[in-house]
Amino acid sequence: MFSGIIKEQGTIVLNLGKRIDIIKPSITRSGDSIAVNGVCLTAVTAKKTNKGVLVRFDLSEETLQKTTLGDYKTGTKVNLEEALSLKDSLGGHIVQGHVDGVGKVLKIVPQKEGMKTIWFEAPKTVADFLVEKGSVAIDGVSLTVVNLQKTKFSVAFIPFTLEWTNMGQLKPGNRVNMEADVIGKYVLKYIKK
């Protein structure tokens, strides 16, 4: 489980489709669960290099079909979060690292003092669970839905989030991993029974 609070970014150094290698700043061990742009992956190997820690991940067919990880080229910056322990503060919201669908950036509206409003298009597998002022994870970042119009929604970004995550690099048309709030998914399932 994750919180959607990004602690660091990494850089893709190799993408072979079913395997990606990422350089990251902090120590990681083989077997660790790490959310890479919101996708829970297992570190297959991890070794310290002069550029940071080189971590290798294997990608299943399911991961390649349901996420954007297969799209990334060498040099792509990705959001990273290590799995929570029971003593960690939640901070954001409960994020499983199980992507519900791939959405896209519709438009970016600059605001005062370096802030931005970004509009996204969500697939039905995500949109059905969105509520205004509710939580959504985009590329692993815990965010709050501001305005909601069926499958389109906006998020307000402060400069810190734009700089500390890869959200500041987004452009209209970019594809992003989306995960709906797990509590909403369970509530809807039980209501339908």
CA 5 – CA 21 distance, rounded (Å)? 22
> Tens digit of pLDDT for each residue in 41-70?
999 999 999 999 999 999 999 999 999 999
Q: Which CATH class is domain 101-192?
A: mainly beta
- In the chain, CATH 2.40.30.20 sits at 8-82, 101-192
- Domain range 8-82, CATH class: mainly beta
- Cα–Cα distance measured from residue 93 to residue 1, given in angstroms and rounded to the nearest whole number: 10
**Cα pseudo-dihedral 191, 185, 134, 169, rounded to 10:** -160
Q: CA distances (Å), 34 to each of 2, 54, 72, 137, in order?
A: 9, 13, 17, 15
Which contiguous run of DSSP H or E holds residue 153?
Answer: strand 152-157
Q: 3-state class of 130 per DSSP?
A: coil
Mean pLDDT for the chain?
95
Mean pLDDT on 20-41 = 96
